[in-house]
């Protein structure tokens, strides 16, 4: 069990500027929230270790800029994504309407192997605010037409449902990962003694 391969899951957060992508990431990873708005430049990432189905997984969460074009990082960070979180603001209908184009953008840039079943999660953020503009039913309906994407209503400010939403994307991404492992043409070589055959397992470096 202990020698099972370490897993890195790359998750990308997309959505219009100001919907709370950075806040969601900070709430999930660092359990912090700040009311002050700070535009994200280019992209940034944080890592968090989580348990998914009894397996320790390192999640690398990429927060992207909603509109800024300051030092664009290009498409390199889309590469090898295992999951994608689409975020809108429940008080701003236009951010909900953008979901289609964010989803398309992701599928074009990341070009995942199986776009139909790629693990997306949709988050309607800022449910703590009064002036709701997008109903839960409407959002659910959109998710249903896109192949039953799981939908979560969250508040990064009050830490409502944030954990659950990210846990869902990790779980679904892991499920895909395991599928790939099963059909992989080259299974991992069987190691009789793991790392113990060489003391410490470090050869000269290079």
Partner 1 sequence: MSDISKSQEYMSFRSTIPQRKVVVDDDNTKEWTLYEAGPKTVKSPLVCFPPASGTADVYFRQILGLSALGYRVIAVEYPMYWTMKEFVEGFRKLMDHLGLDKVHIFGASLGGFLAQKFAEYTSRSPRVGSLVLCNSFYDTSIFQQTSSAPTFWMMPAVVLKKMVMGSFHKTETESHIADSIDFMVERLDSMSQQALASRLTLNCMNCYVEPQKLRDVDVTLMDVFDECALSLNVREEMCKCYPEAKRAHLKSGGNFPYLSRSMEVNVFLQIHLRKYDIGSLRARELTEEEMAMLADSDAGKSLQENYEKERGKEVRPKDRM
Q: Which segment (63-71, 100-108, 137-145, 155-163) binds partner 1 by CB under 8 A?
A: 63-71
Q: C-alpha 3: how far from its chain's center?
A: 26
Torsion of CA 130, 135, 139, 145, to 10 degrees: 180
Q: Which is nearer to partner 1, 69 or 137 (CB)?
A: 69
Question: Using CB under 8 A, which residues numbered 22 to 61 contact partner 1?
Answer: 37-45, 47, 58, 60
Question: Looking at beta carbons only, is 41 or 175 nearer to partner 1?
Answer: 41
Which window, 72-80, 99-107, 126-134, 158-166, contacts partner 1 (CB under 8 A)? 72-80
Residues 6+ apart with CB under 8 A from 114: 176
**Region for residue 102 given its phi and psi (left: phi exceeds 0; alpha: psi -120 to 50; beta: otherwise):** alpha
Of the candidate spans 1-9, 87-95, 114-122, 136-144, the one that interacts with partner 1 by CB under 8 A turns out to be 1-9
CB of 82: closest distance to partner 1 in angstroms?
9
Buried b or exposed e, range 32-44, using 16+ CB within 10 angstroms: ebeeeeeebeebe
Q: Which of 49/116 has CB closer to partner 1?
A: 49
Which of 35, 54, 70, 131 is the binder for partner 1 (CB under 8 A)? 70
Binding mask 127-166 for partner 1 (x = CB under 8 A): ----------------------------------------
Separation between Cα atoms, residue 39 and residue 55, nearest integer Å: 35
Closest to partner 1 by CB, 55 vs 146, is: 55
Shortest Cβ distance from residue 171 to partner 1 (Å)?
19
Long-range contacts formed by 132-137: CB under 8 A, 24+ apart: 132/90, 132/91, 133/90, 133/91, 133/92, 133/93, 133/96, 134/88, 134/90, 134/91, 134/92, 134/93, 134/96
Helix (H) / strand (E) containing 88: strand 83-89
Q: Is 203 in the site for partner 1 (CB under 8 A)?
A: yes
Contact residues for partner 1 (CB under 8 A)?
Answer: 5-8, 10, 37-45, 47, 58, 60, 68-71, 73-74, 76-77, 79-80, 186, 189, 195, 199-206
């Amino acid at each position: 069990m202990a020698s099972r391969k370490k897993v890195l899951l790359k998750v990308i957060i997309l959505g219009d500027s100001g919907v709370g992508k950075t806040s969601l990431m900070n709430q999930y990873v660092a359990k912090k929230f700040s009311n002050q708005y700070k535009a994200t430049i280019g992209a940034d990432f944080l890592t968090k270790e989580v348990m998914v189905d009894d397996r320790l997984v390192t999640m690398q969460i990429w927060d992207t800029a909603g509109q800024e074009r300051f030092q664009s990082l290009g498409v390199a960070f889309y590469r090898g994504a295992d999951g994608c979180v689409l975020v809108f603001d429940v008080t701003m209908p236009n951010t909900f309407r953008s979901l289609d184009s964010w989803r398309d953008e992701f599928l074009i840039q990341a070009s995942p192997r199986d776009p139909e079943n790629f693990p997306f999660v949709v988050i309607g953020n800022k449910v703590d605010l009064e002036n709701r503009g997008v109903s839960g039913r409407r959002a659910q309906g959109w998710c249903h037409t896109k192949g039953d994407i799981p939908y979560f209503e969250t508040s990064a400010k009050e830490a409502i449902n944030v954990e659950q939403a990210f846990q869902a994307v990790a779980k679904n991404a892991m499920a895909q990962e395991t599928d790939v492992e099963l059909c992989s043409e080259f299974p991992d070589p069987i190691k009789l003694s793991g790392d113990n055959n060489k003391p410490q397992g470090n050869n000269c470096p290079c």
